[in-house]
Amino acid sequence: MQPRFDPAVNAWVVSPYRDVVRALNDPRFSADEVRGEEHARSRTEGSAMVLSAMKKLAELRPVAPLPRESPVDVVRELAKPWSEQAAMHLFPVRGQGARAIALAAEVFAAAAELNRAGKATRELAERVVGPHAAFHLQAFVALSQTLPCFLANAWLALLRNPEQAQMLRDSPESMPVAIEELLRYAGPAHAQLRRATEDLEFCGAQIKSGDRVALMLASANRDPERFPVPDRLDLRRNPQRHVAFGAGPHACIGASLVRAAAVPATAVFIEHFAGAEIKEPVEWTGGFAIRAPASLRVSTSPSSTPPGTAPSRSSSGRTPR
């Protein structure tokens, strides 16, 4: 399918899996405000530090002070607090944590629409603690913003497919593979926006330098030529090379951390919300590029109990803030 120009989003739209992957790996399509040596340095720092950060994630168990009465908003009362806790625990910031989270949200929203958030990015970078500012900033944004969006989408999918949630409950060892299928099926990034750096021909379309290109990740992840019966959630599927985090040189630096954090968080969700039902219409947030539930209120079954009454403690004995 040849890319088509959509004036509503002012961008060339690319949807088939093979073409999206090709574009994600094409250096003529750029997403970076920061390029060259600084971009390469953040990638190098990321590959060197992800393993260390993932070990720290093991110190946390995603619990939150949830009310025992029903309904419970699992986005605002579990997914978001856990994600913010994980971000601050792994990547401490100077000053008030709430301000850092607000800055991360601004950076996240701007990146989704291919806009610049220079002031917010600079202020957040000044709050980062440690020598690897470029990696820390992007990983902080991924955990505090991308992670709760993914958890909200994934948990909604599990609530709508209770037989799949029960299968996961019965086979907890399959959680890592299930997370990959949930990313394919319910990843929060519907599109990644790029800008052409030169005049070029791509899949039959003549694209001019400076043109925006919308790479439709959600459509690519539902491409039947790549994923059989793509609209079915199948947690036993091993969706090799989905593009929920993009691909190539601009793939999400924090993807491994989001995956690692999603495993225990989703384990807590399916454990404590067995039999839960959606009680109110889902409230959505986001736009063309990112979409996720802002609120997801569910009833709890009589056998369900809230997952804890306080955040777990780190190895130092202090509650992460």
Question: What CATH number has the domain bearing residue 229?
Answer: 1.10.630.10
Encoded tokens for 280: 């109110």
Q: DSSP letter string over 233-294? A: --TT---TT--BTB-GGGS-TTHHHHHHHHHHHHHHHHHH-TT-EE-SPPEEEE-SSBEEEE
Q: Higher-confidence residue: 31 or 55?
A: 31
The number of distinct structural domains making up the chain is 1
The answer to whether position 291 is within a domain reads yes
| Inside any domain, residue 320 | no
* pLDDT at 302 exceeding the cut of 50: no
Note the pLDDT of residue 160: 97
Q: Check residue 153 and give its pLDDT.
A: 98
**Does the pLDDT of residue 161 top 70, yes or no?**
yes
CB-based contacts of 19, cutoff 8 Å, min separation 6: 1, 3, 203
User: How many Å separate Cα 295 from the centre of its chain?
Assistant: 16
Q: Indicate whether 318 belongs to any domain.
A: no
Over pLDDT 90: what percentage of the chain? 60
Q: Is residue 66 pLDDT above 50, yes or no? A: yes
Bridge partners, residue 246, by sequence: 244
In a domain, 315, yes or no: no
Q: Which amino acid is at 234?
A: D
Report pLDDT digits (tens) over 244-280. Answer: 999 987 788 889 899 999 998 999 899 889 889 999 9
Q: Which residue has the tokens 């907890």?
A: 172
Count of CB atoms situated within 10 Å of the CB of 318: 9
Rounded CA gap, 268 and 55, in Å? 19
In a domain? residue 305:
no
In a domain, 244, yes or no: yes
Note whether residue 121 is domain-resident: yes
Q: Is the pLDDT of residue 35 over 80?
A: no
Q: Is residue 79 part of a domain?
A: yes
- % residues pLDDT > 70 (the chain): 84
Q: What is the pLDDT of residue 221?
A: 98
Q: Residue 46 belongs to what domain range? A: 4-299
Tokens representing 90 are 């792994």
